[in-house]
Amino acid sequence: MGIAEGKVDGRTRRHQHRRPELLAAAVEYVLEHGFTELSLRPMAEELGVSHSTLLRHFGTKEELVTEVMERIRSEIFSAPRASAGDAPLAQSFRAVWKRLCDPAERRQFLLLFEVVAVQGRDPDRFTSLEQTLINEFLGPVEARLRRQGLSRSEARDVATGFIAMVRGLQVDLALSGDQRRVDAAMHRYIDTIARTEE
């Protein structure tokens, strides 16, 4: 019994430094497979670790999904923060849109849409969803628009419209695959926003 316990403790210590690596691999797995039918055993097998290793590092499946979503949230919202520079508004927003249309980035939207669908049926499952999908995107975009001279309320309205366009056109792109059409729609909308610089 004592030897077995020692082995478990040793494995825990040995894998502790791997936690960031395991989280990154878990993020990649969830992006590829979604989370609705997520099971830790197949995930562990694909990640090359034991089921118990995932439990030691992340606790429950729900806790792991929460950490995965937090990592994805921080990555997807680095895009609007990147628009905080002094480049012309249209150029900044087009750069954000181009990045979000990269296939790797689009997987994040698909996962977020999956979360939205689940949230619609189970409102208490992801209590921070509004913070993740709305508020953290609004702040950087609003700040960029405020630097163009818009009032706080104007910046909030325009930022809300931009975010809605991003989400809506990402849904369209996921369903239709028509990149040229959705790009044209977004660029026309960005041109409208950019007139605030004139």
- What pLDDT digit, counting tens, does each position of 17-32 carry? 688 899 999 989 988 8
Q: Could you tell me what percent of the chain has a pLDDT over 70?
A: 77
Residues 40 and 93 in one domain: no
* Final residue belonging to a domain, choices 42, 68, 94: 68
Checking if the pLDDT of 2 tops 50, the result is: no
Quick: pLDDT tens for 72-82.
767 766 655 55
- What is the C-alpha separation between 86 and 52, in angstroms, rounded? 49
Quick: pLDDT tens for 114-123.
877 777 777 7
* Final residue belonging to a domain, choices 68, 86, 103: 68
Residues 134 and 37 in one domain: no
Instruction: Locate 191 and state its tokens.
Output: 């041109």
Number of compact structural domains in the chain: 2
Checking if the pLDDT of 9 tops 50, the result is: no
- What is the C-alpha separation between 65 and 112, in angstroms, rounded? 12
What's the whole-model pTM score?
0.69
* Domain assignment of residue 37, given as a range: 2-68
